[in-house]
Structure 1
């Protein structure tokens, strides 16, 4: 019988969740130095820039591929075995960039890392959904997102400092997965099917329908993909934007991205209390409004501090986004398909991250990075206004039952 109220179990789940946020952005401050490093090996500047940016986005593609498989595995064979195996694989694949000197070889390591992240994210989030229900689930998933954000602050700041010494060094941060694997082995107990809804873990106010909630899934998956296309303008493009704007050092880029994750963490931690007074649909205008305002501010910035202000505002919207989507989906789907549904959420999230540079690259070429941030920000504000105006229609479409 798992004990979800044990602090060791909670800490293990939170630490495992933090691995997902460091999968891409941790090495983001190394990108400009990597671009210079491979200048002689890859003469074509556009190709070199694209391949270097794939160091950040390629894991997302393989998370997209691996998440549905991971969802099926956790539903059929269990949560803990997949979490343990993929945490170990995460350390091997993630740290490979410490020693590799070939960009194609580094990209292979990043692909394997993506498969590992898929397993970690789906199994950890499914365990949380198994252990908790109702307000307890909303509170813990908010805490999960907050912990991921705080982990991002530490990893990104450390990554920026290490990248200033050598672009290889931030890859060593991925070895953090191995101590977490030991914690998983010691403190995570595989829940029985009958344990998924224990009455002493909080009342289930969002009753699970035994039919597939198509409306909820379309809204959640679609908005998650859209938001991540916008979000990944930060880890992929911000170091280059700051370099052109103020000649920022790698440590400054890492601190800037870390500030976004810090404010994201603060907002995530408050989600559980906000959810007691707001329904899922009501969060949508706030999420996209904050992101849009933040991006508009970044787009018109002329100083590093102005960029930081925009990142802080956008981060608050991002912090509410993922716990809202995770709890909404977990509350709507039948127990027997929870792993696959959350696997689909991971697919949507990382599909958006992978598509981000592909979608935004034409914009950055024609409008510059500042213009791209401003245009995306304006689009997000329009989306927020749309949800504010048509909230009742969206509620009817999803048949949301929230307290």
Structure 2
């Protein structure tokens, strides 16, 4: 039963990261088809992530009161149906609207998968499973750009068929997921008071801010402007963009899978610091890289930093809340992530408007520096 539960959690994770990673290699083709700018095409990310800013805390509260499955099932079905519907539209405004509804379905997925790990495991096993889950996440973000890029060769709309995989995942949850559910729901007032008590700690706020800035780099700089960099400097095709982006995710997956070993030698605070430095190095190198080989080094450093940071922060955060408030607590983190995903492309877009892709990645480097200072002054581990 344990292996079956883990497999279902990993499937939820694969669906959760599908919404952006699978379509970014098609951005150049989408731009050409709809005759829009590089900044406009990033709206496909912004409208997708925006609903989660407001819905994540709500679905977390409902998951703590009604149960994890009750929220996961409609979320997965909406994600799959709205995402696949994007394939059939030829109007830019309708495409954005469908992405918005797909984002509503996605709002719960990225927090409830981690919540389930917290519910089912504890101690070193929780840390190990969290690392493996981050590896699965990275395998997804490695595979989706390559698959999305290959599908985009048939037409810009074909990557939008991938969300249909969310529907069989929902069916597996109905029949096979065996997880503990919160018992005897608290009153709303008591629940909110206890959740706030778990959140209102300097270290937790520091980790939340770092999560926002992390997605400024990932969604704002890397996912939004790395494809544009490859087109401008190397004349890359959609498939080549997807293949190269997959390389970053492979490095992330390998690093995350070794979290158990990394924990033996590096304390959590040191892991954070090393990750921020690796982010900074990768952003600086990407701002100046102009050939295929020079892109390899920043993708490796970025992947290593990302592979340590994501599972490390998730493991730290999930330990701050007990079962009855865990979904709500992690959904606040989900809201924080969505905030970073939504504002990141807009923030880095300002740097892009100033000086193109090179300056956009310098903006990412500044964000990495900010993460170092937040860690120093707010995170006490």
- TM-score, normalised by the number of residues in structure 2: 0.91
The structure, 1 or 2, with the larger RCO (C-alpha pairs under 8 Å, 6+ apart) is: 2
- Determine the structure 2 residue equivalent to 1:203: none
Given that residues 30 and 167 in structure 1 are in contact (C-alpha distance below 8 angstroms), is that contact kept between their aligned partners in structure 2?
Answer: yes
Alignment of 1:167-186 (within 5 A): 167-186=156-175
Alignment of 1:323-402 (within 5 A): 323-377=311-365, 379-381=367-369, 383-384=371-372, 386=373, 390=376, 394=378, 398=380, 400=381
Is 1:230 matched up with 2:220?
no
- The Cα of 1:212 is off from its aligned counterpart by 4.6
Are residues 241 and 344 of structure 1, via their aligned partners in 2, closer, same or farther at CA, if it must alter by over 3 Å?
same
Q: Could you say what the CA RMSD is over the residues aligned between the two structures, in angstroms? A: 2.1
Alignment of 1:276-287 (within 5 A): 276-287=264-275
- Determine the structure 1 residue equivalent to 2:56: 67
- The Cα of 1:193 is off from its aligned counterpart by 3.9
Distance 1:210 1:335 in 2: 14
Which of the numbers 85, 92, 115 marks the counterpart of 1:126? 115
- The Cα of 1:141 is off from its aligned counterpart by 0.9
- The Cα of 1:335 is off from its aligned counterpart by 3.2
Given that residues 60 and 354 in structure 1 are in contact (C-alpha distance below 8 angstroms), is that contact kept between their aligned partners in structure 2?
Answer: yes
Is 1:218 matched up with 2:214?
no
CA offsets per residue over residues 28-66 of structure 1, 9 Å max, x none?
111111112122xxxxx5xx5443221122211112222
Distance 1:212 1:350 in 2: 17
Alignment of 1:70-219 (within 5 A): 70-193=59-182, 212-219=199-206
- Determine the structure 2 residue equivalent to 1:20: 16
Given that residues 259 and 308 in structure 2 are in contact (C-alpha distance below 8 angstroms), is that contact kept between their aligned partners in structure 1?
Answer: yes
- The Cα of 1:67 is off from its aligned counterpart by 0.8
- Determine the structure 2 residue equivalent to 1:52: 41
Distance 2:198 2:243 in 1: 45
CA offsets per residue over residues 163-212 of structure 1, 9 Å max, x none?
12200111011111122112212221241447xxxxxxxxxxxxxx9855
Given that residues 90 and 117 in structure 1 are in contact (C-alpha distance below 8 angstroms), is that contact kept between their aligned partners in structure 2?
Answer: yes
Report how many residues are paired.
369
- The Cα of 1:303 is off from its aligned counterpart by 0.5
- TM-score, normalised by the number of residues in structure 1: 0.86
- The Cα of 1:319 is off from its aligned counterpart by 1.6
CA offsets per residue over residues 309-350 of structure 1, 9 Å max, x none?
212211111122221111111112233321111101111112
- The Cα of 1:245 is off from its aligned counterpart by 0.4
Q: Where in structure 1 are there 5+ consecutive unaligned residues?
A: 40-44, 195-208
Which of the numbers 3, 6, 12 marks the counterpart of 1:10? 6
Q: Where in structure 2 are there 5+ consecutive unaligned residues?
A: 184-195
Distance 1:121 1:302 in 2: 34
Alignment of 1:25-36 (within 5 A): 25-36=21-32
- Determine the structure 2 residue equivalent to 1:38: 34
